[in-house]
């Protein structure tokens, strides 16, 4: 009977020890950093992070790392975090990161202008861009996306018209044509510059203010180029000559003569057909 009593006591002691150890293990799991479950569930070996995710590895290799450490890493190394989260093994888990206490950066909104998207997708270098179309407008992505999109559409349209040759280079750049399934060969644009025929007086043009700064600048640049072309051709060549070419049939001397004749007729008070100014 006494022996049975001691056996029961021993069994209860062992049971208590078992429950105590398992309870400690359970609490250890509850108190561990939730982010650790990503590696367990995705079956990722932390040692494989060393090469591609060195800053993340420096955090998670420590057994006592905290969620705050992960968030600090994300804030300092956003690109590395995005690459890690995009790994197939992680992405397929479809994790709601906030449930793990992880503060991920807000997804950046794409700038939706199609021509800019085409330009970005081509990965053309800045050096080549500056060689082929140096005046190509770049959006200010720090601005509100929707407002900047409206402004950029006008900037791009103005660039197309002011720098026709650059626009042709843009359309035919190999990096861009590689993404154009409809490209059939070198695409040539008409080359009579848009400034030809812009309103002129003898006075050097000034900029108008219509509360649309992009179009005000565009119209000013057209008139300014035309004024230099007609009245100061040598200065025009110095300032803008490299940006323009003209059709072979275009007679620049005759154009200047016609413009000067019409301005003189207007100055002398002679009747001028309004259509002649177009």
- Whether residue 23 lies inside any domain: the answer is no
Taking the C-alpha atoms of residue 111 and residue 155, their distance in angstroms, rounded to an integer, is 15
Number of helical (H) and strand (E) elements in the chain, helices listed first: 15, 0
SS3 272: coil
SS3 71: helix
Query: What pLDDT shows up at residue 94?
Result: 87
CA angle centred on 223, ends 220 and 228, rounded to 5°: 120
The pTM of this model reads 0.53
If asked whether residues 213 and 150 sit together in one domain, one would say: yes
Q: Which domain holds residue 215?
A: 114-277
If asked whether residues 127 and 185 sit together in one domain, one would say: yes
Helix axes 145-162, 213-231, angle to 10 degrees: 10
The token duo for 70 is: 């992960």
**How many domains does the chain divide into?**
2
Consecutive 10-residue averages of pLDDT for the chain (278 residues): 48 44 41 81 88 91 90 90 88 87 80 92 95 95 88 92 91 95 88 88 92 91 95 95 86 91 82 44
Query: What pLDDT shows up at residue 19?
Result: 42
Long-range contacts (CB closer than 8 Å, 24 or more residues apart) made by 245-249? 245/165, 245/191, 246/191, 246/192, 246/193, 247/190, 247/191, 247/192
- Whether residue 18 lies inside any domain: the answer is no
Query: What pLDDT shows up at residue 65?
Result: 92
If asked whether residues 50 and 138 sit together in one domain, one would say: no
If asked whether residues 194 and 261 sit together in one domain, one would say: yes
């Amino acid at each position: 009977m006494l022996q049975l009593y001691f056996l029961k006591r021993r069994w209860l002691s062992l049971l208590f020890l078992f429950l105590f150890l398992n309870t400690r293990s359970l609490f250890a799991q509850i108190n561990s950093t939730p982010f650790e479950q990503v590696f367990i569930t995705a079956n990722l070996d932390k040692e494989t992070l060393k090469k591609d995710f060195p800053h993340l590895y420096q955090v998670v290799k420590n057994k006592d790392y905290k969620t705050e450490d992960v968030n600090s890493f994300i804030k300092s190394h956003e690109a590395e975090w995005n690459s890690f989260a995009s790994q197939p093994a992680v992405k397929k888990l479809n994790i709601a990161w906030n449930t793990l206490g992880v503060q991920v950066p807000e997804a950046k909104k794409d700038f939706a202008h199609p021509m800019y998207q085409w330009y970005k997708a081509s990965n053309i270098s800045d050096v080549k861009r500056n060689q082929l179309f140096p005046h190509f407008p770049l959006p200010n992505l720090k601005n509100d996306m929707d407002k900047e999109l409206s402004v950029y559409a006008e900037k791009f349209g103005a660039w197309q018209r002011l720098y026709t040759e650059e626009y042709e280079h843009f359309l035919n750049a190999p990096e861009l044509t590689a993404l154009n399934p409809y490209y059939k060969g070198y695409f040539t644009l008409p080359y009579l510059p848009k400034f030809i025929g812009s309103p002129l007086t003898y006075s050097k043009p000034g900029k108008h203010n219509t509360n649309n700064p992009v179009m005000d600048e565009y119209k000013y640049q057209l008139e300014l180029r035309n004024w230099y072309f007609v009245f100061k051709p040598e200065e025009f060549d110095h300032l803008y000559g490299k940006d323009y070419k003209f059709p072979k049939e275009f007679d620049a001397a005759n154009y200047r003569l016609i413009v000067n004749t019409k301005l003189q007729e207007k100055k002398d008070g002679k009747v001028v057909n309004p259509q002649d100014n177009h």
